[in-house]
Chain A
Amino acid sequence: MTGVLTRNETLVAVVIALFCIVATASDPNFLTVTTLSDLLRASIVLGILATGAMLVLISGGIDVSFTAVAVSAMYVTTTLSLALWPDMPWYLIFAASILVGAGLGAINGIFIAGFGLPTLIVTLGTLSVFRGCLLTFVGSERISALPPEMRNFSRMMIARGTTEGGDFYALPWALAALALVVFLTAFILHKTMLGRSIFAIGGSVESARRIGINVRRIQFFVYVYVGALAGLAGILQGSMGRMADPFSLVGLELSVIAAVVLGGARLVGGYGTITGTLLGVALIVLVQNSLIVIGIPSTWQSVTIGLLILLGTGLPAFQAKRAAARAG
């Protein structure tokens, strides 16, 4: 597993590069600032969700409920804001959504860290509980009359303009949210004892307990943090899409996990890098948006993603199996 060449990150980077080469060859307009800024925009929500999913995988769990958390946080916040304070500043709306997300994440945390239930089954359950609650008790209407501040946020740009070649581009401030999340998560993972403990429990829960790591507290944090990230991703999705759609996002969870797994995180826990995750997200976004450019009809999108998952996880798994057989 050593060596840069066999690492998932490298593999994904190579696939991305090949994709871009083929795409540019068949459509010289592919590699332009416009496409790039479009793809970047499309990666924001997915990137934030993937960062959270990665954290869970590193801790040795799996979370499939984060899309429901995201959409619930977004919709609840929007509805509340419209009902109570339509002119609520955008940063308060965001904070509220993050809080709601963290709260829902805490529910996952209680069942997983508190009761010690299997993570897949708990989050499959909460996926439908959160979504069911949202659609039954909060509402199932799409809201396009968002609080004005939410709409304004989506218009705030870091940069926008037209290049000399006439390509239009726009980078929204939402991108800064992704950067912030990436920075914060990287800081937690690598610079705090908490982050190293997440890696430790992913590597071996039993050893972690023996050296005095409070495993339950770490797990609880992980699910709350992931919930908070999902809340942020949800409100960004609503704001950038200029609509609070209670049916959006859910269904995306497997693609997000796919991105993370492609980036080298392992299901058994303890392994995962932010670089890999972002590369995985980039690849998934490319496939979702630009498959047509390299001559594959967009109806083949999920086949492609499925095959990428099978290849991306199959190769290392097969190598590991062979290595284990060799080691005897």
Chain B
Amino acid sequence: MDQPQTGAFVEMKGVTKHYAGVTALEGVDLTVAAGEAVCLAGENGSGKSTLIKILSGVEPASAGEIRIGGKTMSRFSPRMATAAGLMVIFQDFSLFPNLTVAENIAFAGELAGRRRFFSARSARAAARSVLDRVGVDIPLRARLETLPVAHKQIVAICRALACEARLIIMDEPTASLTEREVRALLGIIRLLKEQGVAVVFVSHKLAEVLEVSERVVVLRNGRKVVEGPAGTFDTASLAMHMTGREVRDAAPGPVPDSGDTLLRVEALDKPGSFRNVSFDLSAGEVLGITGLLGSGRTSLAKSLFGLVAPESGRIAVSGADVPLGDPVAASEARIGYVPEDRLTEGLFLTQSILRNVAVGRLGDHERGGFLQHRALAAEASGWLRRLKVKAPSVAAPVQSLSGGNQQRVVLARWMARAPRVLVLNGPSVGVDVGSKADIHDIIRDLGARGLGVIVISDDLPELLATCHRILVMKGGRMVEEIGAGSVTEDELAHRLAS
């Protein structure tokens, strides 16, 4: 257990990983000392997740060396990683919803100790002592599924500690936390560092954790592009390194004057998610709605499309009421919705690209009950071309496309239906930088053609680049309306968090 004098707990040297001809990581060096916090930043596809997999022993590196506590690890496996105290906390936490808090915390440790018998009492005692270590109180007998997200994350951290973690790798740790919860998390991280536990944050949004970190490492396209003390980075410079260019989208043009009210939302109310939300959207306008996770923005987005049923309130398109809580009715009122999670909500992964677009237009291409396959295919292909979807064949399954092209497929599906209002929930999540700019162009173009567009996002540069107006949500309420061009990104971030 004693630490060699080099000070590095984990050392990766020249780690490279190829997948079937694709290089996911190339010659990456990374060192983490005990008690140190390192930010590993990078866009999606930069090689972050590959690095996590290699560090946790899930995937072998194609080349390079991993040393833990000064010892070179050959044939590194998940079991060895665990034994060495390397723990990964995945974004979904990998906990057991049906077990108690105590079991979730203590189970992995007891498993590693190769115990045969289980005592609920000693599990509770073990869990209690770990919870005390991080200074948090969570009811030990509660079923995990009943906990809020922030508590689940703490349970996941505690589980890692119960396994005598010496390095905790956290994947997107702040993605689902509110401001206050992030504060609490940072407090815990400071405690851990004092106890000699090292932490690696892996994220594409790191501003929040910069203050507890010593070092920042930025990956791009599988290579390490920069490494330096955390103090020398800020949000803008991080973004610059991650994307490799100055991301400066053109600001949106003015709202066209025709400006009739297209969508009217009045006193929409859903206890527990959002309260008394009202706003108007005029034709040609791009409206941003932002807020931290838990502010009710996602629920509101879903309500606009009927995926969530508000308890009271009114949604009207051009003066005509839209029934609440019914996606089919919403789409008939020509409201469209591009979901946040493309893979599980947006796409039919095993189905062809063409079908994924055409599925929205089946009703309009039926003659006497039969589908007009040719017309349907021609129309869908037309939209795919207009949105510049790059695909070898439209008959290929949509899962063969890159994130950016996939998102364009979902957009094409809706544009084929000629919607009047389009709700985009996190339009560029998990999309590479180039596609992101294209998607922003598409959004601005949608507005220019007279659609009402609502962009729901926590990506502030994205909002500033596309929206005429930005509404800020906090604790389920609309707290502020900000005109385009009247704020900088930092101001916006400040108003979001304060």
Q: Which residues of B contact A327 (CB under 8 A)?
A: 272
Whether A191 pairs with B117 at a CB distance below 8 angstroms is yes
Whether B107 pairs with A200 at a CB distance below 8 angstroms is yes
A200 to chain B minimum Cβ distance, whole angstroms, is 5
Q: Which residues of B contact A192 (CB under 8 A)?
A: 116-118
Q: Tell me which of A144-152, A203-211, A284-292 binds B.
A: A203-211
Q: Is A271 an interface residue (CB 8 A)?
A: yes
Q: Is B488 an interface residue (CB 8 A)?
A: no
Whether A193 pairs with B110 at a CB distance below 8 angstroms is yes
Which partner residue on chain A sits nearest B119 by CB separation?
A191
Q: Which residues of B contact A2 (CB under 8 A)?
A: 146
Which partner residue on chain A sits nearest B146 by CB separation?
A2
Q: Which of B77-116 contact A (CB under 8 A)?
A: 78-79, 82, 88, 90, 94-99, 103, 107-108, 110-112, 115-116
Whether A193 pairs with B115 at a CB distance below 8 angstroms is yes
Q: Is B308 an interface residue (CB 8 A)?
A: yes
Q: Please count how many residues in chain B sit with their CB below 8 Å of the partner chain's CB atoms.
A: 35
A-B contact count (CB 8 A): 75
Q: Is B276 an interface residue (CB 8 A)?
A: no
A238 to chain B minimum Cβ distance, whole angstroms, is 34
Known contacts A203-B99, A328-B303; A212 and B108 CB within 8 A of each other:
yes
Whether A326 pairs with B272 at a CB distance below 8 angstroms is yes
Q: Is B270 an interface residue (CB 8 A)?
A: yes
Q: Majority SS of interface residues in chain B?
A: mixed
Known contacts A211-B107, A212-B79, A212-B108; A193 and B117 CB within 8 A of each other:
yes
Q: Which of A2, A193, A202: most chain B CB closer than 10 A?
A: A193
Whether A207 pairs with B95 at a CB distance below 8 angstroms is yes
Known contacts A202-B98, A270-B96, A325-B308; A211 and B111 CB within 8 A of each other:
yes
Q: Which of B101-150 contact A (CB under 8 A)?
A: 103, 107-108, 110-112, 115-120, 146
Q: Is B31 an interface residue (CB 8 A)?
A: no
Whether B116 pairs with A193 at a CB distance below 8 angstroms is yes
A195 to chain B minimum Cβ distance, whole angstroms, is 7
Whether A191 pairs with B95 at a CB distance below 8 angstroms is no
Q: Which residues of A contact B88 (CB under 8 A)?
A: 210
Q: Which residues of A contact B95 (CB under 8 A)?
A: 204, 207
Q: Which residues of B contact A271 (CB under 8 A)?
A: 98
Q: Is A294 an interface residue (CB 8 A)?
A: no
Interface string of B320-339 (1 = CB under 8 A from A): 00000100000000000000
Can you offer 13 A-B residue contacts whose CB atoms are under 8 A?
A190-B118, A190-B120, A193-B110, A196-B118, A200-B99, A203-B99, A204-B94, A210-B78, A210-B88, A211-B108, A212-B78, A270-B96, A328-B308
Query: Which A residues are closer than 8 A to B by beta carbons?
Result: 2, 190-197, 199-200, 202-204, 206-208, 210-213, 270-271, 325-328
